[in-house]
């Protein structure tokens, strides 16, 4: 119990430190001005989200192979946390886009692909609600999770190719592309902070899933008596 | 029995079942026709706009039609309880999937080829000059739709609300196919047609990746 | 700087989403904990 509280406190501290760095340590960007500071939070969440989905993918594979419930618990936890992070990316993107480009949404390659990514994992979670038996639910969602994850590079690739055919404003020109060294340090610190936050949320969500399973077991015991 | 002979036996069964009643093919063709007509109400199909939007519209229609057409793929087996006997008779689960996806690709292409001239007439778009390339796009795109669709249909058949679930699972997964197919088709229908090989490349990669995934994970999709 | 509002909005909404997610997990966890206690008691009583 103490370890979880420690992790949570660490996560909060790091996130606040990252925000401080984004506002006071990173220099102001030339073309976009102060709005660009959203970048550290926006991209940090995006990378952490992708890593959460990667964890989900690995858990899906492990479940299909080993059939141990803990992989299913971690898998759904990772999918949910990844979805939350991706939601934040999709919300902060337009907030950045409006002052920077005058429009809330731009079908730029990255934002469009992120939207599809979001839809894929929403489908993953929806599938889970439609299968009642726990083992079948775990297997079916693991299989869909595998298909969804291998689709991700194809989605990003295809949309980026399509965008080169029909150029449109890009929200930001790639992380680290011509980033000032101080910006770079703040950026990677942000990414680190978001990952620690993700780890904390994963642990908490995993605990909830495990507890749900314990309740099921106890309920069956109580009914059997 | 080898994979090839198992698959051809099952493929024969799939084709015979469908051509006996032809209900899947007819309903799919009519659905695509309706979508194509309805699209014409949503924008003014002057020739220039038709060329620009036509490719995308066509593939959107194919995608929607496919997500309906793929429903009975495994539901048919479930309703008649034939899946377990199938698994007992055929040792390799991949043969079952291969047969179904080849059949589905054939059905899809049949409906697409029937719809193509209708679309060309209604939207004033030339399909003859680049017909052989269009055929290639139709094949690779339909194959992609079938591979993903057959696999996901096996998943949705085991869940509730399966009619709504299959499109929900299928459409996000097929985004690369839609993007690449539509883009290549638009290029081919242009006044100065151009063949975008990168798009074809994407489709081929998608087909290969998902075929491999189906081969690796097929047996788990059919687990009882 | 008028755009500063956008930056603040982004950070606050973002943190808000994480906070709400955490609160929902914590609430469901504590609800389940009471449920587990209740079930354990009913099992031991029987």
pLDDT tens, B84-115? 888 878 778 899 999 999 999 999 999 999 99
Chain A, residues 8-67, CB within 8 A of chain B, namely: 64
User: In this complex, is the C-beta atom of A150 within 8 Å of any C-beta atom belonging to chain C?
Assistant: no
Instruction: Give the tens place of pLDDT for each residue, A123-145.
Output: 999 999 999 999 999 999 999 99
- Over pLDDT 90: what percentage of chain B? 53
Cβ–Cβ < 8 Å for B134, B113: no
* Confidence check: pLDDT of A171 > 60: no
Closest C-alpha among B99, B111, B144 to residue B22: B111
* Confidence check: pLDDT of A20 > 80: yes
Distance CA B62, CA B29 (A): 10
Judged by DSSP in three states, B92 sits in coil
User: In this complex, is the C-beta atom of A130 within 8 Å of any C-beta atom belonging to chain B?
Assistant: yes
| Stretch A20-38: mean pLDDT | 81
Cβ–Cβ < 8 Å for C17, A91: yes
pLDDT for B165 equals 94
Q: Which of A80-89, A186-195, B86-95 shows the lowest mean pLDDT across its residues?
A: B86-95
Shortest Cα–Cα distance, B168 to chain A (Å): 6
* Confidence check: pLDDT of A97 > 90: no
Report angle CA A20, A80, A92 to the nearest 5 degrees. 40
Return the half-sphere exposure (C-beta side, CA atoms, 13 A cut-off) of residue A24: 5
- Searching chain A, which residue's CA lies closest to the CA of residue B202? A158
Nearby residues of C39 by Cβ (< 8 Å), 6 or more positions away: A215, A218, A219, A221, A222
Give start and end residues of each alpha helix (H) in chain B.
3-21, 23-42, 47-69, 72-80, 83-89, 93-123, 131-156, 162-173, 175-189, 197-221
pLDDT for B17 equals 84
Q: Which of A183-192, B19-28, B37-46 shows the lowest mean pLDDT across its residues?
A: B37-46
Distance CA B6, CA B73 (A): 18
Q: Do A204 and C29 touch (CB under 8 A)?
A: yes
3-state SS of chain A? CHHHHHHHHHHHHHHHHHHHHHHHHCCCECCCEHHHHHHHHHHHHHHHHHHHHHHHHHHHHHHHHHCCHHHHHHHHHHHHHHHHHHHHHHHHHHHHHHHHHCCCCCCCHHHHHHHHHHHHHHHHHHHHHCCCCHHHHHHHHHHHHHHHHHHHHHHHHHHHHHHHHCCCCCCCCCCCCCCCHHHHHHHHHHHHHHHHHHHHHHHHHHHHHHHHHHHHHHHHHHHHC
B186: pLDDT confidence band, cut at 50, 70 and 90?
very high
Give the residue, B178 or B74, on which the prediction is more confident. Answer: B178
* Confidence check: pLDDT of C44 > 60: yes
Number of residues that this document lists for chain A? 225
Q: Which of A191-205, B35-49, B98-112 shows the lowest mean pLDDT across its residues?
A: B35-49
* Confidence check: pLDDT of B180 > 90: yes
pLDDT for A176 equals 45
Q: Which residues are registered as beta bridge partners of B42? A: none
User: In this complex, is the C-beta atom of A96 within 8 Å of any C-beta atom belonging to chain C?
Assistant: yes
DSSP, residue by residue, B105-128: HHHHHHHHHHHHHHHHHHHT---S
| Stretch A114-122: mean pLDDT | 97
| Stretch B8-23: mean pLDDT | 85
Of A140, A147, A157, the CB nearest to B158: A140
pLDDT for A215 equals 92
**Axis-axis angle for helices A134-165, A109-129 (nearest 10):** 160
pLDDT for A39 equals 86
Q: Do A147 and B213 touch (CB under 8 A)?
A: yes
Report angle CA A119, A124, A127 to the nearest 5 degrees. 120
Q: Which of A89-98, A165-174, A216-225 shows the lowest mean pLDDT across its residues?
A: A165-174
| Stretch B191-211: mean pLDDT | 94
User: In this complex, is the C-beta atom of A222 within 8 Å of any C-beta atom belonging to chain C?
Assistant: yes
> Which pTM does this prediction carry?
0.92
**A172-176, A178-182, B25-29, C40-44: range with highest mean pLDDT:** B25-29
C–B touching, 3+ CB–CB pairs within 8 Å: no
Distance CA A127, CA A124 (A): 5
Give the residue, B148 or A106, on which the prediction is more confident. Answer: B148
Q: Which of A74-78, A182-186, B143-147 shows the lowest mean pLDDT across its residues?
A: A182-186
* Confidence check: pLDDT of A168 > 80: no
Q: Which of B12-16, B217-221, C41-45 shows the lowest mean pLDDT across its residues?
A: C41-45
A173: pLDDT confidence band, cut at 50, 70 and 90?
low
């Amino acid at each position: 119990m103490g370890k979880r509280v420690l992790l949570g406190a660490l996560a909060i501290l790091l996130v606040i430190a990252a925000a401080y760095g984004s506002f006071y340590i990173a220099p102001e960007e030339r073309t976009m001005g102060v709005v660009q500071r959203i970048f550290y939070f926006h991209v940090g969440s995006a990378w952490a989200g992708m890593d959460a989905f990667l964890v989900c993918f690995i858990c899906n594979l492990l479940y299909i192979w080993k059939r141990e419930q803990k992989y299913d618990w971690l898998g759904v936890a990772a999918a949910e946390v990844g979805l939350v992070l991706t939601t934040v990316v999709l919300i902060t993107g337009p907030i950045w886009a409006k002052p920077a480009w005058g429009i809330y949404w731009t079908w730029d390659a990255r934002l469009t692909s992120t939207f599809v990514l979001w839809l894929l994992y929403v489908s993953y979670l929806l599938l889970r609600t439609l299968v009642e038996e726990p083992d079948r639910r775990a297997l079916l969602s693991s299989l869909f999770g595998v298909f969804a994850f291998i689709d991700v590079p194809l989605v990003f690739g295809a949309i980026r190719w399509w965008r080169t055919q029909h150029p449109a404003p890009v929200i930001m020109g790639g992380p680290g592309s011509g980033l000032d060294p101080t910006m770079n340090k703040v950026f990677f610190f942000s990414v680190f902070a978001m990952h620690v936050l993700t780890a904390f949320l994963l642990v908490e969500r995993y605990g909830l899933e495990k507890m749900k399973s314990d309740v099921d077991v106890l309920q069956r015991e109580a009914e059997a008596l | 029995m080898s994979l090839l002979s198992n698959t051809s036996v099952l493929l024969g069964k799939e084709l015979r079942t469908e051509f006996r009643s032809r209900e899947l093919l007819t309903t799919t063709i009519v659905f695509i026709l309706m979508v194509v007509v309805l699209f014409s109400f949503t924008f003014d199909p002057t020739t220039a706009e038709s060329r620009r939007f036509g490719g995308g519209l066509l593939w959107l229609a194919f995608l929607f039609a496919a997500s309906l057409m793929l429903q009975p793929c495994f539901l048919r087996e479930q309703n008649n309880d034939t899946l377990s006997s199938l698994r007992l008779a055929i040792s390799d689960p991949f043969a079952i999937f291969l047969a179904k996806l080849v059949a589905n690709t054939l059905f899809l292409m049949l409906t697409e080829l029937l719809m193509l001239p209708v679309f060309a007439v209604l939207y004033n778009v030339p399909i003859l000059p680049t017909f052989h390339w269009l055929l290639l796009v139709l094949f690779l795109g339909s194959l992609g739709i079938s591979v993903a669709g057959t696999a996901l249909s096996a998943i949705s058949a085991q869940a509730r609300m399966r009619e709504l679930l299959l499109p929900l699972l299928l459409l996000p997964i097929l985004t690369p196919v839609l993007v690449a197919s539509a883009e290549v088709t638009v290029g081919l229908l242009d006044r100065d047609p151009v063949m975008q090989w990168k798009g074809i490349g994407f489709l081929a990669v998608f087909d290969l990746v998902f075929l491999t995934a189906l081969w690796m994970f097929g047996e788990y999709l059919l687990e009882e | 700087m008028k755009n500063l509002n956008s930056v603040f909005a982004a950070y606050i909404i973002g943190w808000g989403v994480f906070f709400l997610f955490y609160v929902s997990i914590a609430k469901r966890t504590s609800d389940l904990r009471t449920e587990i206690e209740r079930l354990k008691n009913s099992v031991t009583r029987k």
